[in-house]
A and B are shown apart, each in its own frame.
Chain A
Amino acid sequence: KAGVTQTPRYLIKTRGQQVTLSCSPISGHRSVSWYQQTPGQGLQFLFEYFSETQRNKGNFPGRFSGRQFSNSRSEMNVSTLELGDSALYLCASSLRQGESTEAFFGQGTRLTVV
């Protein structure tokens, strides 16, 4: 069974630009979450989608947005990029929503803002 696939693996963008990251969950998984990982802040929750609806949102500015499609694939978008947005963005999929369900992570997209 294929794991969580994130594309692209690496991105370099300029301040002020926008970027879209893609995540394909494990087949059959309906819940997709996004996390930002930085050396200073560690792993921080961005948002969670289930059945095309945003169920939870972390404490990030409105420049960060996402969506989920009917096939459970998800995208996240960051507009007006800032240097501080440089991070590893991780997508995780779960079979269903629920506190006891483990999440499986993709390898991440390394975003560098210059």
Chain B
Amino acid sequence: AQSVAQPEDQVNVAEGNPLTVKCTYSVSGNPYLFWYVQYPNRGLQFLLKYITGDNLVKGSYGFEAEFNKSQTSFHLKKPSALVSDSALYFCAVRFAQGGKLIFGQGTELSVKP
């Protein structure tokens, strides 16, 4: 079955430290991977996507993600966390048959001053 997993419900980071939010996937064929962020009482905001090519993808607000085919992972990273990065982060994969996005369960990121 095709799926996306985010193994951590919550990640706590001190401001200024690097952050990583983990995502692993299970798909047949080539994956098309996305990261979204959700602030309280808001919709999802697109951060970045991996389609093909360079394994390191750069996105909005200083975020980047590393695609690792052998480990079937697509971890979200940022070199220096900000308190304003505190939010709910979702990894998602999209399939060739259409526009359906399969989401992970989400990871709550908390950045403390």
Contacts from A to B (Cβ < 8 Å): 4, 6, 31, 33, 35, 42-43, 45, 48, 50, 55-56, 58, 90, 92, 94, 97-108, 110
- B34 contact set on A, CB distance < 8 A: 102-103
Q: Which residues of B contact A (CB under 8 A)?
A: 32, 34, 36, 41-46, 49, 51, 90, 92, 94-106
In the complex the two chains form, is A97's CB within 8 Å of B98's CB? yes
Residues of B within 8 A of A4 (CB): 43
A to B contact number (C-beta, < 8 Å):
68
Please state if B101 and A45 are interface contacts (CB–CB under 8 Å): yes
What separation, in Å, do the CA atoms of A107 and B43 have in the docked complex? 4
Query: How near does chain B come to A51, taking the closest CB pair, in angstroms?
Result: 12
- Would you call B36 and A56 a contact (CB within 8 A)? no
B43 with A100: CB separation less than 8 A? no
Q: For the complex, what is the distance from the CA of A12 to the CA of B36, rounded to whole Å?
A: 28
